[in-house]
Amino acid sequence: MSTTSIAFFSHGILSLLWWQVLLVTLVLTHVTIVSVTIYLHRCQAHRALDLHPIASHFFRFWIWMTTGVLTGPWAAIHRKHHAKCETAEDPHSPQIRGIWQVLLAGAELYRAELKNEETLRKFGHGMPDDWVERNLYSQYPNLGISLLMVIDVALFGVVGVSVWAVQMIWIPFWAGGVVNGVGHYLGYRNFGSADASTNFIPFGILIGGEELHNNHHAFATSAKLSSKWYEFDIGWMYICILSALRLAKVRKVAPTPHLIKGRMVLDDSTVQAILRNRYEVMARYARTAERAYRQELAHMAHISGFEKLRLMRDVRNTFRVVDLAQEDRGQRRVAEIFSRNQRLRTYVELQIDLAAMWERSNRSREQLLFQLQEWCHRAEHSGILALEEFSLRLRQYA
């Protein structure tokens, strides 16, 4: 074997140093996660944006070659996750299957659900069905990743096998394991969505913004996943760049509350505005209730400091979940305090009644307006200043 052949086999066409190979690998895997979050997740699964055919075909080809994932099955399984979240039918809920199984075996759970024809048929509507999809991607799902290995070895030499291996585990670990696992198990919640979804940072560069999982579950069809000023959705940054280049068109983002200062009249427009912003409304109410809880707890001399810390830790879930019947010992103790404290009991009762407004879709607009008027009347005559101020703010929604 000639010296030239040995050099080619060892270093490939590019002949890069080790740190250059590492940098290129991170760039390549970053393109993959961006393709998944923008194309597969936000565009195809949730229709939050439209992509120009050039961008759409690039993302679809890149995902096929770097992951072997097909658009239709992936979107169908993800849609089922939203429809059956935290139930026995959820393909990958750590609340049901355990955090370690989802974190370490997320890809296996995906492949298992891939065999469920009912899932693909029921949730896989509206997916690409052109000539390329039928005759290349669907026919040869493993051809892309095989070509990728050849390309990696040609570019980087023998170390290209390691580059290829990193590319193969990147999405199964970060998307299939971390997002689906940690994103429903550990972190903070901005919104009281009817699941266990959480936000966890600062992994945004590695996961493309998908770490803002609670925000996504609250507003599933939003192209933008960040909500607070300190949250950074790098996927949204790329969408804005594509939009500026006319390669993407955003269809929907999470609603932003519009308030008219000094407005006091409760009418149908108020009801509709509150319904559109219900997650923001409930999150704001939860923060108001949490502050009141901490203030009341601080004045309870019969409770030790350590116990107060434990109860303060439990309060967020108490007001975000509105479930005082949980078996958790901390939640039962919180419920006992509520039962002995009229002010805190009022907070909980009004929270449950406010949330009930949009839990029953068969109510007419007149019924919803009457219920809102009654709720505001109770809050404003509760003798609790924070509830009165909250009610007056509700009247400003428009």
Can you list the residues of the chain whose pLDDT is less than 50? 322-327, 329-330
- Identify the pLDDT of residue 380: 92
Cα separation of 163 and 357, whole Å?
A: 53
For 230, the token pair is 């300190």
The phi-psi region of residue 126 (left if phi > 0; otherwise alpha if psi is between -120 and 50; otherwise beta) is: left
| Half-sphere exposure at residue 352, Cβ-oriented, CA atoms within 13 angstroms | 9
Q: Give percent of the chain above pLDDT 70.
A: 84
Integer-rounded Cα Rg, in Å, for the chain is: 25
Residue bearing tokens 């198990």 = 185
- Identify the pLDDT of residue 310: 61
CB burial of residue 265 (10 Å; 0-12, 13-18, 19+)? exposed
pTM of the entire structure?
0.85
For 85, the token pair is 């979240």
- Identify the pLDDT of residue 340: 62
Beta strands 49-51 and 248-250 are: antiparallel
- Identify the pLDDT of residue 325: 39
| 76: number of Cβ within 10 Å | 25
- The residues spanned by each domain of the chain are 3-250, 268-394
Compute the mean pLDDT over every residue in the chain, rounded to the nearest whole number.
86
Q: Give residue 237's identity as a one-letter amino acid code.
A: M
- Identify the pLDDT of residue 349: 83
- pLDDT tens, residue by residue, 144-158: 999 999 999 999 999
- pLDDT tens, residue by residue, 40-55: 999 999 999 999 999 9
Q: How far is CA 174 from CA 37, 43, 146, 204, 214, in A?
A: 12, 19, 22, 11, 17
- Identify the pLDDT of residue 327: 42
Cα separation of 254 and 270, whole Å?
A: 18
- Identify the pLDDT of residue 302: 58
- pLDDT tens, residue by residue, 109-135: 999 999 999 999 999 999 999 999 999
Angle between helices 143-156 and 53-67 (to 10 degrees): 80
| N-term to C-term CA, the chain | 77
Cα separation of 51 and 34, whole Å?
A: 13
| 17: number of Cβ within 10 Å | 10
Cα separation of 186 and 193, whole Å?
A: 15
If you write DSSP's letter for every residue of 77-96 in order, what string do you get? HHHHHHHTTTSTT-TT-HHH
Angle between helices 160-171 and 143-156 (to 10 degrees): 140
- Identify the pLDDT of residue 354: 86
- Identify the pLDDT of residue 9: 62
